[in-house]
Amino acid sequence: MFVDGKLLTAGERTRLHFEPFGVRTYLPERCEPGFTLFSPAYGYTEYLVDMRGLVVHTWPVTHSDVAELLPNGNLLTHNDGHWLEELAPDGSVVWRWEGEEWLETNTHHDFYNVDGDEIVFLARQREPVRPGVFPEGFEPDFMATDLVLRINRKGELLWRFSLGEHIEELSALAGLPLPIPYARQTDSGEIVPRGPADWAHTNTVECLPATPLGERDSRFKAGNVLLSFRSLDIIAIVDPDKDAFVWAYGLGILDGQHQPTMLPDGHILVFDNGTWRGHSIVRELAPDTGERVWEYANGESFFSPFRSGNQRLANGNTLICECDAGHLFEVTRDKEVVWDFWSPFVGQGRHHLGKRIHRATRYGPEAVAGLLAARRDTVVAEVDWQGRRIESYAELIRLYQSRPPEPA
């Protein structure tokens, strides 16, 4: 958080609950129907659950934190730090990009599937420390500089954008002082300078959709790239045609934010973690004016210092991923919780981030149809309400989601 000229942050804090796991609240008439795909932070299993918490499908993944369900039922995901890949429903690898030798980190945090053939994603490159970036005497040994890369399925590099080459540009646009006033609080309460090698910590990348705002203001046009820099408390937009930043927001407002995403009306929804503040806020803002249109907060009862995300649903509700609590919930515009899920899946992955959920996405029934049709399970000993044998997995899921017919 940018406070009194200092860029402050804080560490992990425990978020525990003592109520039952799974779905605690489900108001069908108020919810956006569908299935929720979620990624335990750096876990080895990707889960798809229905509105009652039934695990409909899983994929084996490796150190993954984001994923996208494709229309054919395959899963696009990554091994954070190593590769991008597409997995069939049975977990077999359909396609994989294993990176380049010149990259320190081939892929991290996020990717955006452009059109099925091209992917925009985050990578990292080690470079010498640039003069004037860090407080004097607190320079790291090197800079771990984030890159935005665009490749096709052949692995051909189509576009490269290095944040290190645009620091002054971003600083001027966002009002960020140089050197960057990184600071931390010691155990005694003293605020002292610091110099993190991971100086931006980019955690989100999204190609903007076509919106009325983008049609009248080229800063927000379709195809521009929206980024989030957790270590800077800034979200920003790059115009690939200009190879330059064209918009930035957040200094003094956002605090360790994640997953900014542009909505159909041109507003931006962002999970403002509040790492230093001590509580989280989901914000909807008008990027052209800076107006804060809508917010969800619940004091210290809603708080994830790191990771997390949000999604605006088709019915106007918002799906919120409160990562560190292992908590997914859906709220209305009036902030009523109409679906409430607490993950029972812990002990995921070699880094063992416990119950944490990095990101979640709600898919409508039509988006999951390809996956269910691709399942070739042999269903035995199951019949529908009329006693007819169930023969496919899709039929089985429909049965489990149905209610018994009314008595004649």
The DSSP code sequence of 213-231 is HHHH-GGG-TT-EEEEEGG
CA 371 – CA 389 distance, rounded (Å): 21
Three-state secondary-structure class, residue 248 = strand
State the Cα–Cα distance between residues 305 and 107, nearest whole angstrom: 23
Q: Which helix (H) or strand (E) holds 372?
A: helix 365-374
DSSP assigned state of 302: S
- Amino acid type, 326: G
Q: How far apart are CA 275 and CA 303, in angstroms?
A: 8
Is 273 in contact with 257 (CB distance < 8 Å)?
yes
Looking at residue 163, what DSSP letter applies? G
Q: What is the pLDDT along the chain (408 residues), one digit of tens a residue?
A: 999 999 999 888 877 788 899 999 999 999 999 999 998 888 889 999 999 999 999 999 988 889 999 999 999 999 888 999 999 999 999 999 999 999 999 999 999 999 889 999 999 999 999 999 999 999 999 999 999 999 999 999 999 999 999 999 999 999 999 999 999 998 898 999 999 999 999 999 999 999 999 999 999 999 999 999 999 999 999 999 999 999 999 999 999 999 999 999 999 999 999 999 999 999 999 999 999 999 999 999 999 999 999 999 999 999 999 999 999 999 999 999 999 999 999 877 666 677 899 999 999 999 999 999 999 888 988 999 999 999 999 999 999 999 888 887
Contact 286, 306 (CB under 8 A): no
Structure tokens that stand for 106 in this block: 């081939």
Residue 319 contacts residue 330 (beta carbons within 8 Å): yes
Please state whether the predicted TM-score (pTM) of the whole model is above 0.85: yes
Contact (CB, 8 A) for 337 and 27? no
Using CA atoms, how far residue 217 sits from 96, 263, 285, in Å, is 37, 15, 16
Please give the angle made by the CA atoms of 349, 354 and 356, to the nearest 5 degrees: 100
Count of H-run helices and E-run strands, the chain: 4, 29
Spatial contact of 52 and 68, defined as CB atoms under 8 Å apart: no
Domains, in order of start, for the chain: 2-21+61-309 (2.130.10), 377-408 (no CATH)
- Residue 329's DSSP bridge partners are 320, 340
Cα distances (Å, whole numbers) of residue 398 to 57, 276, 380, 390, 392: 14, 45, 16, 10, 10
Q: Helix, strand, coil proportions of the chain in percent (round to 5)?
A: 10, 40, 50
Q: Which amino acid is at 63?
A: H
Token pair, residue 93, equals 């690898």
Give me the residue label for tokens 């790291």. Answer: 140
